[in-house]
């Protein structure tokens, strides 16, 4: 009576993927490890998955490519017919290709200075408009008269504390001053940028799935 060989365990054939919604690349050869985190108990299979080339970019210009995770699963399955792939991330993802180029620090400084100037002037205009609409000078004069019993003859402590409190309040709210942060929480600007980025990604993915040829007036 022959000895029956035990079946080989297929635990190591299970591959888990966690695909990022947006991945920026600068190389034309895009590998699986560039767009997803891969886990597998078999180190050899894990190495093969990470080194799997999933896309070859042909164009030499900046462009976003919308891809389907089903194509990833199909390419991974071609490595071994026994592989079972579980996707724990996005079902559609974006490859954002940027051709490699030398950094232009002087241009970055110009853009930073321009944004700072626009932000400063815009914030100053908004504050002055609010003060004018709320008639803050008259309010301070009335408060000074009620507390001190006489009319203010110029700049008072109310204007000084209001100006200092406004600056401190802005720095505290935005939670960011130069390289220092008051807490580990994301700043309101960072939260808004992440929300904006998510909206952009969803729009790009939805637009790529539209099959209509008519003009979209929306």
Mean pLDDT along residues 116-143: 87
pTM of the model: 0.66
80 CA to centre of own chain: 35
Residue 31's CB is within 10 A of a number of other CB atoms, namely 16
Residue ending a domain, choose from 97, 128, 160: 97
**Same domain for 142 and 124:** yes
Q: How many Å apart are CA 181 and CA 169, to the nearest integer?
A: 14
Least confident of 47-51, 70-74, 145-149: 145-149
CATH of the domain at 18: 2.60.480.10
For residue 214, tell me if it sits in a domain. no
Pick 12 or 110 by higher pLDDT: 110
**Same domain for 122 and 83:** no
For residue 217, tell me if it sits in a domain. no
Mean pLDDT along residues 35-53: 91
Q: Is 176 helix (H, G, I), strand (E, B) or coil?
A: coil
**Which residues have a Cβ under 8 Å from the Cβ of 204 and sit 6 or more positions away?**
64, 66, 94
**Same domain for 125 and 56:** no
**Same domain for 93 and 110:** no
Nearest to 14 by CA among 64, 87, 91: 87
Q: Is 147 helix (H, G, I), strand (E, B) or coil?
A: helix
Mean pLDDT along residues 145-163: 82
Phi, psi of 69 (to 5 degrees): -65, -20
pLDDT at 55: 92
63 forms bridges with which residues in the sheet? 97
Q: What is the pLDDT of residues 76-127, one digit of tens each?
A: 999 888 889 999 988 899 999 988 887 778 888 998 899 889 988 988 898 8
The DSSP secondary-structure symbol of 13 reads: G
Give me the number of domains the chain comprises: 2
Q: How many degrees, rounded to 5, is the angle at CA 70 between CA 65 and CA 72? A: 70
Domain holding 150, by residue range, is 105-208
User: Is the pLDDT assigned to residue 170 strictly greater than 70?
Assistant: yes
pLDDT at 7: 47
- CA R_g for the chain: 29
- Cα dist. 100→25, 27, 28, 57, 105 in Å? 9, 8, 10, 13, 15
Confidence band of 29 (pLDDT split at 50, 70, 90):
very high
Residue ending a domain, choose from 97, 124, 155: 97
pLDDT at 176: 66
pLDDT at 33: 92
User: Is the pLDDT assigned to residue 168 strictly greater than 90?
Assistant: no
Residue ending a domain, choose from 29, 62, 97: 97
């Amino acid at each position: 009576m022959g000895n029956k060989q035990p079946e080989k365990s297929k635990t190591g054939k299970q591959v888990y993927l966690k695909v990022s919604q947006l991945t920026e690349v600068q190389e034309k050869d895009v590998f699986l490890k560039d767009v997803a985190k891969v886990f597998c108990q078999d180190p050899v299979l894990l190495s093969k998955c990470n080194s799997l080339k999933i896309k070859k970019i042909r164009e030499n210009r900046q462009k976003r490519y919308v891809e389907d995770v089903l194509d990833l699963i199909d390419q991974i399955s071609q490595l071994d017919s026994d592989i079972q792939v579980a996707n724990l991330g996005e079902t559609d993802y974006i490859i954002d290709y940027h051709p490699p180029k030398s950094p232009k620090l002087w241009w970055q400084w110009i853009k930073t200075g321009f944004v700072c100037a626009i932000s400063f002037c815009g914030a100053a205009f908004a504050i002055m408009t609010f003060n004018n609409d709320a008639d803050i000078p008259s309010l301070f004069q009335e408060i000074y008269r009620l507390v001190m019993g006489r009319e203010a003859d110029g700049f008072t402590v109310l204007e000084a504390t209001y100006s200092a409190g406004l600056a401190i309040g802005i720095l505290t709210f935005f939670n960011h001053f130069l390289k220092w942060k008051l807490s580990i929480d994301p700043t309101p600007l960072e939260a808004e940028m992440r929300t904006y980025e998510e909206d952009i990604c969803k729009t790009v993915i939805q637009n790529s799935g539209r099959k209509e040829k008519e003009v979209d007036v929306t």
